[in-house]
Amino acid sequence: MSEDETTYVVVLNDEEQYSIWPADRELPAGWRTDGTRGTKSECLDHIGEVWTDMRPLSVRKQLESL
């Protein structure tokens, strides 16, 4: 099995949910990049550092208003 040499970007949607996407492909509708680019491992490590609250943004806002 060959090593994955794909370059990825970190993407997030309007609910601030993160994922990775191949850098050479057009982003799917509703997703934007956060500026991070690298190997799969590098991108996943970045997500692990920045995505500390897995709740969707709408849920976090709703709970803050209580």
CATH number at residue 36: 3.90.820.10
In a domain, 3, yes or no: no
Domain residues for the domain of 51 are 8-64
Write down the pTM of the prediction: 0.86
Number of folded domains that form the chain: 1
Render pLDDT for 22-64 as a digit per residue (tens, 0 to 9): 999 999 999 999 999 999 999 999 999 999 999 999 999 999 9
In a domain, 45, yes or no: yes
In a domain, 2, yes or no: no
In contact, 31 and 49? CB cutoff 8 Å: no
In a domain, 31, yes or no: yes
In a domain, 1, yes or no: no
